[in-house]
Amino acid sequence: MHENFYIAFGLTLFAGLATGIGSALAFFTKQTNKRFLSLALGFSAGVMIYVSFVEIFVKAKIFLVADLGIVKGTWVTVVSFFGGVFLIAIIDKLVPSYENPHELQGIEEIGEISDLEKDLEKMEEEKKSAGEHEKFNRAMMRMGLFSALAIGIHNFPEGLATFVAALKDPSLGVPIAVAIAIHNIPEGIAVSVPIYFATGNRKKAFFYSFLSGLAEPIGALVGYLILMPFLSDTVFGIIFAGIAGIMVFISLDELLPAAQKYGEHHLSIYGLISGMGVMAVSLLLFI
């Protein structure tokens, strides 16, 4: 077993279970600070983009060029990068947009996260008066469960990305795990809020949110068991380049649009630059 296995798995578990933090924020805080959420999501995007291009992509190229030569190694690096982009884009495309939490709908369409009890009572009264209470509950439950499924599907490659990076270099795995954990927080909200509206049960909503996050460490283990017999510098290089592509796509397709939706445009950019700065300094400290 690889010497960094437990560190890598621990970091992946931490990143995945951050969905539970999202549930806690939704249920146990009276008001969601959207300015802070916007900054945090921008920060996560900054960390992911910077580390992808400056560190992960470069390391992938070093591994592949050393094994395959400058021309072939460079080509394989670039193809693997866009292969990662293509993979996560296909996964995103296969999930229907209404149930996909990455399409930036769930939270805003349900209502404000603050004061859930009041919102629940108001919406129930409106639906009862229209004779559609049960239909409404089923729709909300369906939305929450599909969000959990969608997040679980997305978390498989994210879990593998965190795990493999930490397996090869724990100092690189830590910032990646933190960045993915931050981006998992609003996903936890997207799962738990509709289920809570459907059932009125905080424990059930938290459970499904928590369960969706488990897909990340499960994805890491499944991927590791499949790839373990084939792990070499060439395979690590291909995986690293693919991870870079996945993280860049997530940042541009999910994190930055979400950051801008929850807060002001400039806040998301300030968060982005801050994330890049912190990542740059942390990498310099490990030289």
Annotated binding site for Zn(2+): 158, 183, 187
Q: Give the Cα-Cα-Cα angle 98, 102, 104 (nearest 5 degrees).
A: 70
**Total length of the chain:** 287
Mark the binding-site residues for Fe(2+), compressed into ranges. 155, 158, 184, 187, 216
Mark the binding-site residues, compressed into ranges. 155, 158, 183-184, 187, 216
* Cβ atoms of residues 212 and 19 within 8 Å: yes
CA–CA gap between residue 246 and residue 87 (Å, rounded): 8
